[in-house]
Amino acid sequence: MTIYFDDLSMGDELPSLTTVPITETQLVRYSGASGDFNPLHTVAHVAEAAGLGGVIAHGMLVMGLMGRAITAWVGVAPLRQFGVRFTGIAKPGHVIIVTGKVVEKLEVEGEHRVRCEVSAVDQDGHQKVQGSFVVALPLQDE
Amino acid sequence: MALDKSFVGKAFAPFTFEVDKSKIREFAQALGDENPIFFNDAAAQEAAGLPGIVAPPTFPTVFKMWGEGGSSPHIKAMGGDVLRLLHGGEAYEYYGLIRPGDVITGQTQVVSIEEKESRSGHLDIVVFQTNYHNQRGELVVIARTTIVLR
């Protein structure tokens, strides 16, 4: 279902995404896929020695989960910008909930674009990643 | 030990990554993403405006990690302690789709090196910019990586 620029108003929310809990195996898969083999993500004794209590998720993994929500909403082709700050640590057992809302409608280089704030928190509401993205959307009559 | 600020503006050696379907599928699976546009050409073509399987939004991290080992080598070169390294943020600007068969060339430059005092102590903040072009010389993604040394 196409999302049109005309359909959206300030404050409109993206469909929220809730993941299954992060697992240690997912961190192994993500390390291999992304090429980030920092042992904090996969080697328990290294993460414990660093005072983290156990392995932690890559910030980029959580950004990737936010990307899932964006793609599910509007696909990949409309994406123009996507930027985040890593504000909290996600760990195995955490469920990640991605929410976002429209904060700006703008016209840039002949495209109608929408800027959204986007946030990832865990099941207790603790934030992991905060950012924004911009997508270019068609007009209803195009 | 302070980072070597003469690195500001310095560009590191270019690196390449060859995109294929198996890597896109592996990456999407690792994120638990079942969106068929990352797995199946016909499904991607049925979705508006896609020529076939495309890379997911955060896929450029694959280029950086597999292509140049991430930011750690550059931080080491600047005299930084990678054990203190945290990924502070990442931002992408997208100029084109990334597809299986693409050969992506990236080159990273140091944008800034700053110091900050915070509650947790002295922080070094380094911003890198990596420009990615495909085999047709088209700019596809610009990535800005913020690294914090705590």
3-state helix/strand/coil string of B30-55: HCCCCCHHHCCHHHHHHCCCCCCCCC
Question: What CATH number is given to the structural domain containing B11?
Answer: 3.10.129.10
Q: Which string of b and e fits B83-116 if b means at least 16 CB within 10 Å? A: eebebbbbbbbbeebbbbebebbbebbbeebeee
Q: Are residues A12 and A70 in the same domain?
A: yes
Q: Are residues A82 and A130 in the same domain?
A: yes
Tokens of B146: 């913020």
Task: Work out the end-to-end distance of chain B between its first and last CA atoms, rounded to an integer number of angstroms.
Answer: 12
Residue B146 CA to residue B87 CA, distance in Å, equals: 6
Amino acid A79: pLDDT: 98
CA distances from B19 to A59, A68, A141, B53, B117 (A): 23, 20, 36, 11, 41
Whether residue B138 lies inside any domain: the answer is yes
Q: How many CB atoms lie within 10 A of CB A16?
A: 10
Amino acid B1: pLDDT: 61
Amino acid A142: pLDDT: 66
Average pLDDT, chain A: 97
| pTM metric for this prediction | 0.97
Q: Do A59 and B90 touch (CB under 8 A)?
A: yes
Q: Are residues A17 and A83 in the same domain?
A: yes
Could you list the residue range(s) of the whole structural domain that residue A142 is in? Answer: 1-22+58-142
Residue B31 CA to residue B67 CA, distance in Å, equals: 20
Q: Is the dihedral of CA B139, B130, B117, B121 positive or negative?
A: positive
B137 neighbors B125 (Cβ within 8 angstroms): no
Whether residue B142 lies inside any domain: the answer is yes
Whether residue B95 lies inside any domain: the answer is yes
Q: Does residue A1 have a pLDDT over 80?
A: no
A119 neighbors A127 (Cβ within 8 angstroms): yes
Q: Are residues A126 and A86 in the same domain?
A: yes
Amino acid B47: pLDDT: 76
Tokens of A10: 């300030």
Whether residue B42 lies inside any domain: the answer is no
> Residue B91: its chain A contacts at CB < 8 A?
81-84, 131
Could you list the residue range(s) of the whole structural domain that residue B138 is in? Answer: 7-19+56-149
- Find which of B33, B45, B118, B129 to mutate to test the A interface (most A CBs within 10 Å of its CB): B33
Q: Do B88 and A85 touch (CB under 8 A)?
A: yes
Count how many domains chain B has: 1
Residue B82 CA to residue B133 CA, distance in Å, equals: 28
Q: Are residues A98 and A68 in the same domain?
A: yes
Nearest by CB to A33, which of B30, B35, B89?
Answer: B30
Q: How many CB atoms lie within 10 A of CB A2?
A: 11
CA distance B146 to chain A (A): 9
Question: What CATH number is given to the structural domain containing A82?
Answer: 3.10.129.10
A15 in contact with chain B, both atoms CB, cutoff 8 A: no
- In chain B (150 residues long), the average pLDDT of successive 10-residue segments reads 91 98 98 97 86 98 98 96 94 98 98 92 96 98 97
Whether residue B84 lies inside any domain: the answer is yes
Instruction: Of A20-24, A114-118, B84-88, B130-134, give the lowest mean pLDDT range.
Output: B84-88
A16: left (phi over 0), alpha (psi -120 to 50) or beta: beta
Q: Are residues A72 and A127 in the same domain?
A: yes
Q: Are residues A44 and A88 in the same domain?
A: no
A33 in contact with chain B, both atoms CB, cutoff 8 A: yes
Residues pairing with B89 in the sheet: A85, B146
Count how many domains chain A has: 2
Q: Which positions in chain B have a beta carbon within 8 angstroms of at least one beta carbon in chain A? A: 23, 26-27, 29-33, 35, 37, 47-50, 54-58, 61-62, 65-66, 70, 86-94, 97, 144, 146
A76 in contact with chain B, both atoms CB, cutoff 8 A: yes
Residue B86 CA to residue B127 CA, distance in Å, equals: 12
Q: Do A60 and B58 touch (CB under 8 A)?
A: yes
Whether residue B116 lies inside any domain: the answer is yes
Q: Are residues A87 and A125 in the same domain?
A: yes
